[in-house]
Amino acid sequence: MIRLPPNHPLRIELNNEVHARPPESVIAPCRMSYIALWSDYTMREKQWQAVSALTQRYGAVPPSRDATHYSAELGPFRLKWERHTEFVRYTFIVPGASDNPFSEPALLSVPQDWLAQLPGEIIVASHAVAIPDGPNTQDFETLGARLFGGSTMIGASVSSGTAKVLTDFHVHGDGFSRFLILDKGMTPRQSGRIIQRVLEIETYRMLALMALPVARELGPILSRCERDLADTTRALIDAAEIDEPLLLEQLTRLEAEIESQQSATVYRFSAAAAYYSLVQSRIDELREERIQGLQTFREFTERRLAPAMNTCQSTTSRHDALSQRVARATQLLSTRVDVNQERQNRALLESMNRRARLQLRLQETVEGLSIAAVTYYVVGLVGFIAKGIKGFGVELNPDIAMGVSVPVVIFIVWLGVHSIRRMVSKERADARHAVEHQEFDT
């Protein structure tokens, strides 16, 4: 027995992904009805309940809750169910086909009460019929008049000439589009792959076009925003300093609106690009060969789908460019506002410095007057003391004592005031350093 390290938790799941949603084996003649319903993740439980209810009617095993695809024989028809990110699709297959197969679609074999209660909204509904190719299917004009109501036919020989696929891409009076597959020797699996690709072309084409109304709706909004941006930037050229805050508010509001629109539409446009890529891939897989007098699938789909996708791409690029322009204008105006604020701050600091110098001069003047006043009173006290001493009989001239004491008193008072000022300055410096250190730590 070979002993190996443990599997990665996702190994089996990722390996099975390549086998997900396999095509059904189809043997002509047969009829198929296909429905793709637009629904989001909130409907997943209802979708599973609907499929489970149908399988229980016919005694079949229902799919697991986390299944993304399911296939089962349910008596009179075969069901294929597939769940995708934005939609879920149901394919019903019934063997056999009459001369007018679209008048007896496979969907008639499905319980009608169950059909009416399916969750979601129809994005694609199609009937497909696979019949053997023969002498009665060579006249496409007659075939189109009988099966497609005389509409212009689109078709091609596919898969190295083993089949022909015909359609008109119209939604007929019964609410379904129609596809006719003429089998010229396909295997059942090959036939299933061809039908699946054709139905996927129709589905992904519709899903890609879901972005076109969004682009059309967004166009006038972008035009208005571009005009607003042009007006604001034009006003910015000659704007005075007092006008800049208002202009900055306008640009900020415009930038917020553009970002909001972009957030609301970016998924739809990116999804459209992905669906368009799938349409092109499925057409490539058909390996089309022209049928004389008919448009191919690529020619028909590209005639309108490519311009629509170009419109969406153009709108996306326009939106991105507008967002960048608004961001640059906002940055430019913010820089101007910052420069003006710095100039105002510098002027304020210079004014504060002038006031500080004046305050220092005033303080020095007050200190000088204080020294003179204190000296005057101290010298007076010295005079009184000298007179008192003279009264005791000591030979001392009070006037001389006062005169001699003046420079000594002035020096002592100045020294005391200077010491007090140094002490106060040191306390202020210590407090300022403490604040700066706290701000640095923060």
Q: What is the mean pLDDT of residues 286-305?
A: 90
Name the pLDDT band for 435 (thresholds 50, 70, 90).
low
Position 241 scores a pLDDT of 73
pLDDT higher at 164 or 245? 164
Q: For the chain, give the number of residues.
A: 442
Percent of the chain whose predicted confidence (pLDDT) is above 70:
93
Are 51 and 115 contacting, i.e. CB atoms less than 8 angstroms apart? no
Q: What is the mean pLDDT of residues 91-112?
A: 91
Q: What is the mean pLDDT of residues 159-171?
A: 91
Position 367 scores a pLDDT of 66
Position 424 scores a pLDDT of 66
Question: Is the predicted pLDDT of residue 280 greater than 90, yes or no?
Answer: yes
Percent of the chain whose predicted confidence (pLDDT) is above 90:
44
Pairwise CA distance, residues 73 & 436, whole Å: 81
The torsion angles phi and psi of 158, rounded to 5 degrees, stand at -125, 165
pLDDT higher at 409 or 54? 54
> What is the torsional sign of CA 39, 42, 43, 48?
positive
The pLDDT tens digits of the residues spanning 221-260 come to: 999 999 988 888 888 777 777 777 788 888 888 888 989 9
Are 158 and 288 contacting, i.e. CB atoms less than 8 angstroms apart? yes
Position 22 scores a pLDDT of 77
Pairwise CA distance, residues 236 & 105, whole Å: 67
Name the pLDDT band for 81 (thresholds 50, 70, 90).
very high
Ranges 5-14, 34-43, 46-55: which has the least confidence? 5-14
Are 319 and 226 contacting, i.e. CB atoms less than 8 angstroms apart? no
Burial 264-284 (b: 16+ CB within 10 A, else e): ebeebbebbeebbebbbebbe
Question: Is the predicted pLDDT of residue 439 greater than 60, yes or no?
Answer: no
Position 370 scores a pLDDT of 73
Question: Is the predicted pLDDT of residue 335 greater than 80, yes or no?
Answer: no
Name the pLDDT band for 329 (thresholds 50, 70, 90).
confident
Question: Is the predicted pLDDT of residue 438 greater than 70, yes or no?
Answer: no
Pairwise CA distance, residues 20 & 13, whole Å: 10
Name the pLDDT band for 214 (thresholds 50, 70, 90).
very high
Question: Is the predicted pLDDT of residue 308 greater than 90, yes or no?
Answer: yes
Q: What is the mean pLDDT of residues 154-178?
A: 92
Asked if the bond preceding 29 is cis, omega within 30° of 0, the reply is yes
pLDDT higher at 47 or 21? 47
Q: What is the mean pLDDT of residues 91-102?
A: 89
pLDDT higher at 439 or 252? 252
Position 436 scores a pLDDT of 56
- Residues 6 or more apart whose CB falls under 8 angstroms from that of 142 comprise none
For the chain, the three-class secondary structure string (H helix, E strand, C coil) is CCCCCCCCCCHHHHHHHCCCCCCCCCCCCEEEEEEEEECCHHHHHHHHHHHHHHHHHCCCCCCCCCCCEEEEEECCEEEEEEECCCEEEEEEEEECCCCCHHHCCHHHHCCHHHHHCCCCEEEEEEEEEEEECCHHHCCHHHHHHHHCCCCCCEEEEECCCCEEEEECCCCCCCCCEEEEEEECCCCHHHHHHHHHHHHHHHHHHHHHHCHHHHHHHHHHHHHHHHHHHHHHHHHHHCCCHHHHHHHHHHHHHHHHHHHHHHHHHHHHHHHHHHHHHHHHHHHHHHCCEECCCCECHHHHHHHHHHHHHHHHHHHHHHHHHHHHHHHHHHHHHHHHHHHHHHHHHHHHHHHHHHHHHHHHHHHHHHHHHHHHHHHHHHHHHHHHHHHHHHHCCCCCCHHHHHHHHHHHHHHHHHHHHHHHHHHHHHHHHHHHHHHHHHHHHC
| β-bridge partners, 90 | 35, 81
Angle at 22 between CA 8 and CA 63, to 5 degrees: 75
pLDDT higher at 136 or 255? 255
Average predicted confidence (pLDDT) for the chain: 85
The pLDDT tens digits of the residues spanning 401-432 come to: 777 777 877 788 777 777 777 776 677 666 66
Ranges 97-111, 322-336, 401-415: which has the least confidence? 401-415
pLDDT higher at 145 or 275? 275
- Residues 6 or more apart whose CB falls under 8 angstroms from that of 100 comprise 146, 147
